[in-house]
Amino acid sequence: MRFYNLNPKMAIEFKLVKDPDTTVYENMRVASQAYAVGDSVMLDRTADAIEVVPATAATVTTNIYGVAMEAVTSSATSLLIARVTNRQLWSADTTGTATAADNEQRMLLTDKGTVNNSHTDSGSPSAVFQQTGYISANRIVGRFLTSAISA
């Protein structure tokens, strides 16, 4: 059982806890969408002028791409993100009550800022987050599950 001493009152959706490698930051093109620090983003494979859009419950491991490192309004044309890898540890907000018994379970997103911890492991391609630790009733630690196609 792994517990992490992070202040849950400082929660900002997704927050980088540890990166054994050098974190890669990129300015990505966005359009007509406000972002908060900690929002997860996925690749946009349909619009040439947009590189990333907010991640959703339908986001798959080949599309999850990063986490917003700045807040921008819907008039912004770029967004600074941290690229996600499966070697990093992130803290995350949850929709249901978190428990250490869920460690190692793969989970879907509820939306761009929340993990849907249903207390069952998901083998779905939309299971883009794996819980590895427990912080509080609505905060966990884990890793994004990415595949090589997203790079």
Sign of the dihedral defined by the CA atoms of residues 18, 102, 12, 75, in that order: positive
Asked if residue 94 and residue 74 are part of one domain, the reply reads: no
Q: Say yes or no: 47 and 77 in one domain.
A: yes
Same domain, 95 and 50: no
Give the pLDDT score at 12.
Answer: 72
Distance CA 39, CA 27 (A): 14
Q: DSSP readout, 23-79?
A: PPEEEEE--S--B-TT-EEEE-SS-TT-SEEE--TT--TTTEEEEESS-B-TT-SEE
- The CATH number covering residue 69 comes to 2.40.300.10
Question: Which pLDDT score, from 0 to 100, does residue 149 have?
Answer: 57
**Do 27 and 54 sit in the same domain of this protein?**
yes
- Domain assignment present for residue 35? The answer is yes
Per-residue pLDDT of 55-111, as tens digits, reads: 999 999 999 999 999 999 999 999 999 999 999 999 999 999 999 999 999 999 999
Q: How many domains does the chain have?
A: 2
State whether the Cα torsion 47-76-69-114 is positive or negative.
Answer: negative
Structure tokens at 19: 């990166």
For residues 121 and 5, the model is more confident at: 121
Per-residue 3-state assignment (H helix, E strand, C coil) for 132-147: EEEEECCEEEEEECCC
pLDDT at 10 > cutoff 80: no
Query: Average model confidence (pLDDT) for the chain?
Result: 90
DSSP state of 8: G
Containing domain of residue 62, as a range?
A: 21-83
The percentage of residues in the chain with a pLDDT greater than 90, rounded to a whole number, is 83
Q: Are residues 90 and 115 in the same domain?
A: yes
pLDDT class of 148 with cuts at 50, 70, 90: low
Residue 33 domain-assigned (yes or no): yes
Same domain, 50 and 98: no
Domain shared by 60 and 109, yes or no: no
In a domain, 73, yes or no: yes
Residue 9 lies inside a defined structural domain of this protein: no
Residue 9's pLDDT band (cuts 50, 70, 90): very low
